[in-house]
Chains A and B, each alone.
Chain A
């Protein structure tokens, strides 16, 4: 059984260069690219109009951008090595809360993830450590966890929606699952020996999806650490994974410009879309709002952001 998604709208040349990361809230899409600014587009207006520009956020460009599930917080990571934290006001305008000051190794942080409530930030690093910070501004946003691994570049990181786990994916193919309550490593899974470029927890925090250069999406049971499925079909390195709100579907974006929608229950690909002829750096579901159809957004090397809507019926 396949599903059909229609191109609803495309923001042509939304950014002047590759868009490396997009992140959504219930009403907005935030996007970041090789330029220094973060753009915020409305997802409740039919033309997805630009509603705010965070100019000059990171001078050398931005490689990662995340929002909390509750949509109150965002975090960005720049090529110059800084991690910035942002908050949204009731008027829908974002402002900077401050920067993470990691005195030991500035510039070591790479991928980032926010907890559902926006109170914690996790970061993978070039040296392989995975760190977690409290984002309590009054307390100076201190680091609260420091998970050591074997030194392979941490290309990806995720926090489980229930707050219980942190997961990281590494260049040597390792995937680690850490228990945030005990502060210890729960599982080290090494099914693939090629870079893991993206990891994502399911909405119920029961499954972890991991993917990268092997072009296979591996699904792991978070509690047992066992691999429960392999999703195959991508022709290029997989750069991005995102679960739909219900956990029924998984969205993946790859280096060969394709994005796929997978039905988790049947382990099948139900839709494939081509996003120009450049890498899809980031693929994200938009949160379900009211009676709106399931929607996702794609962004990548063609500088466009495209929105897709599930066809009715």
Chain B
């Protein structure tokens, strides 16, 4: 997964601001201050009540409030604890560049948060305080994944992809026409494929899913539901050739350590993982093959090949950290991931799936061809 380039420094900025807030608390503790304070701005009490001096076109100004510990009441102490915990959770999401729904956040500490609306309020207050959208905190409301294909669900249906439906055990999901599920990292690619001529042929047998980066629990739950009921349907992942791409794929396949508690059922089996997930691409051999077809021109090089980029220092650090994962160990279960991370480091190169748009027929034709190759391998 590649953040839009202009957003990378922005996320760092948000992280730094949250760390400032947390550091002020830590400094207060170290200095043995009489009182610890977090200042939040909030619009949560804003109403549409008419105010003659208010410009009706502008949203109401946020009100500033201090949340202190120890406060005057038990309620204030609780509120302070909630705020600090929300800060920690949001900070964790941003640093790992994972996305958490507010619901996920609530279920981390339901006893502390008491009800969903408490989380909702303080996440929104934090966004308001920093002057950013909630999405910039890597917090979303419920499912964010999209799905399309020839399956029937007794609740709803859609055209250019619908939000991943929540599935309960009582729902009926008709998968009789489905031959494969393809998980795509990026929404843009998801939409490109839906609009391509190949999809018109493929759509009758294929389910296409995107979680728009790191998967949310609702999307993983939906996919797990499919494989539990139809284990013969193969799953393929299409992610960028970069450390985040492999990390996204590992979340689908093995789960997220940060949300590990969500994976366990009463029987102890991992409830959301897709252990049979196949890596469709992007892999280094695919890049090598495509680069060779650009043989004719000496002017072409890394900076000219669309979708091919240098690793950032963060990428290099992440790649090295991932090489330490048990999954990527020398005798671990994912030697191809280990080899790919090493190759990225060797070349200092990463590639977006858009790299294949340059080929005849574009990315959609390439996906088609790779799926055919994969299916011939079986």
A80 touches B320 (CB 8 A): yes
Please give, as numbers and ranges, the residues of chain B lying within 8 Å of A16 by CB-CB distance: 330, 335
Bound CA–CA A255/B301 (angstroms):
12
In the complex, how many residues of chain B place their beta carbon closer than 8 angstroms to a beta carbon of chain A?
26
A61 touches B338 (CB 8 A): yes
A81 touches B320 (CB 8 A): yes
The residue that B330 contacts in the complex, of A36, A80, A213, A236, with Cβ under 8 A, is A36
A61 in contact with B342 given A81-B320, A255-B288 (CB within 8 Å): yes
Bound CA–CA A82/B26 (angstroms):
35
The reply on A84 being an interface residue by CB < 8 A is no
Chain A: minimal CB distance from B321 (Å): 10
A60 touches B324 (CB 8 A): yes
A236 touches B346 (CB 8 A): no
Interface string of A44-73 (1 = CB under 8 A from B): 000000000000000111010000000000
B335 touches A79 (CB 8 A): no
Which residue from chain B places its CB closest to the CB of A195 in the assembled complex?
Answer: B302
Bound CA–CA A81/B316 (angstroms):
11
The residue that B310 contacts in the complex, of A171, A236, A237, with Cβ under 8 A, is A171
B298 touches A216 (CB 8 A): yes
Bound CA–CA A142/B339 (angstroms):
33
A20 touches B301 (CB 8 A): no
The residue that B288 contacts in the complex, of A59, A63, A279, with Cβ under 8 A, is A279
Bound CA–CA A202/B338 (angstroms):
35
The residue that A278 contacts in the complex, of B288, B298, B313, with Cβ under 8 A, is B288
Bound CA–CA A60/B320 (angstroms):
8
Bound CA–CA A215/B295 (angstroms):
10
Bound CA–CA A232/B288 (angstroms):
20
B323 touches A61 (CB 8 A): yes
Interface string of A264-297 (1 = CB under 8 A from B): 0000000000000011010000000000000000
A235 touches B295 (CB 8 A): yes
Main SS of chain A's interface residues? Answer: loop
The reply on B291 being an interface residue by CB < 8 A is yes
The reply on B343 being an interface residue by CB < 8 A is yes
The reply on A18 being an interface residue by CB < 8 A is yes
The reply on A118 being an interface residue by CB < 8 A is no
Bound CA–CA A237/B324 (angstroms):
29
Chain B: minimal CB distance from A140 (Å): 26
Bound CA–CA A236/B305 (angstroms):
13
Please give, as numbers and ranges, the residues of chain B lying within 8 Å of A126 by CB-CB distance: 313, 316
Chain B: minimal CB distance from A83 (Å): 15
Residues 272-327 of B at the A interface (beta carbon under 8 Å): 284-285, 288, 291-292, 295, 298, 301-303, 310, 313, 316, 320, 323-324
Chain B: minimal CB distance from A105 (Å): 12
Bound CA–CA A137/B213 (angstroms):
49
The reply on B345 being an interface residue by CB < 8 A is yes
B302 touches A213 (CB 8 A): yes
A79 touches B320 (CB 8 A): yes
Please give, as numbers and ranges, the residues of chain B lying within 8 Å of A79 by CB-CB distance: 320, 323, 342, 345
Bound CA–CA A81/B319 (angstroms):
12
A215 in contact with B292 given A16-B335, A126-B316 (CB within 8 Å): no
A153 touches B348 (CB 8 A): yes
A17 in contact with B345 given A79-B320, A255-B291 (CB within 8 Å): no
A171 touches B285 (CB 8 A): no
The reply on A155 being an interface residue by CB < 8 A is yes
Residues 330-354 of B at the A interface (beta carbon under 8 Å): 330, 335, 338-339, 342-343, 345-348
A18 touches B291 (CB 8 A): no
Bound CA–CA A155/B343 (angstroms):
14
The reply on A35 being an interface residue by CB < 8 A is yes
Please give, as numbers and ranges, the residues of chain B lying within 8 Å of A278 by CB-CB distance: 285, 288
The reply on A163 being an interface residue by CB < 8 A is no
Please give, as numbers and ranges, the residues of chain A lying within 8 Å of B348 by CB-CB distance: 153, 155, 171, 195
Please give, as numbers and ranges, the residues of chain B lying within 8 Å of A281 by CB-CB distance: 346
Please give, as numbers and ranges, the residues of chain A lying within 8 Å of B303 by CB-CB distance: 194
10 contacts between A and B (CB under 8 A): A16-B335, A20-B342, A36-B330, A63-B346, A171-B310, A194-B302, A194-B303, A236-B292, A256-B288, A301-B284
